[in-house]
Homo-oligomer: A and B are copies of this chain.
Amino acid sequence: MTRRRVLPTTEELRVWRGFIETAEALRVELGARLQAECGLSPGDYAVLLALSEAEGRRLRSSQLADDVGWERSRLSHHLGRMEKRGLLRREECATDNRGAEVVLTPEGSAAFRNATVPHLTAVRELFVDALTPEQLAAAGEIAAALRVKLG
């Protein structure tokens, strides 16, 4: 009588480690280039992207948190750092005295504009161009399959 196998085989573990470490290395490399070429962290980029796409380049704090998928607290800390660097301003909200509105400054807007082409080029170079069309499609399917288990 055979017990149902619970632990991964050595080969499965090898694939797992290769997969997760490569994804991590990719994230790190993209982040490093963004930082080196544009002086922005990946977090900065996410915030600037959301604000750039918003009406009037401004958003309520909680809407921004939703857009980038962060907790309020994380956003608050990050906005503090970005505000200190002049990338954005926080203003009081007219319709809700509790609320804050986050406004892109011209500097922030320019920083994002300068970052987007280099960043997307790097994505193409390191990800899209590194894979065959079949592999690219498979990557999409794999991600979708994994997401099922992640609720």
**A-to-B contact residues, CB < 8 Å:** 6-8, 12-16, 18-27, 29, 117, 120-121, 123-132, 135-150
Is there contact, CB below 8 Å, between A146 and B26? yes
Is there contact, CB below 8 Å, between A138 and B135? yes
Closest residue of chain B to A135 (Cβ to Cβ) is: B142
Is there contact, CB below 8 Å, between A136 and B20? no
Is there contact, CB below 8 Å, between A139 and B23? no
Q: Which of B117, B130, B135 contacts A7 (CB 8 A)?
A: B117
Known: A124-B8, A125-B149, A131-B145. A24 touches B25 (CB 8 A): no
Q: Which of B128, B138, B146 contacts A127 (CB 8 A)?
A: B146
Q: Which of B7, B20, B130, B142 contacts A148 (CB 8 A)?
A: B130
Q: Which residues of B contact A146 (CB under 8 A)?
A: 22, 26, 126-127, 130-131
User: Chain B's nearest CB lies how many Å from the CB of A71?
Assistant: 13
Given the complex of chains A and B, what is the CA–CA distance between A139 and B21 in angstroms? 12
Q: Is the interface of A mostly helix, strand, loop or mixed?
A: helix
Is there contact, CB below 8 Å, between A145 and B128? no
Sample 21 A-B pairs with CB under 8 A, ordered by A number.
A6-B121, A6-B124, A7-B120, A8-B120, A8-B124, A12-B136, A13-B120, A13-B123, A14-B140, A15-B136, A16-B127, A19-B23, A19-B140, A22-B143, A22-B146, A22-B150, A25-B147, A126-B149, A129-B149, A130-B146, A131-B142
Given the complex of chains A and B, what is the CA–CA distance between A142 and B138 in angstroms? 9
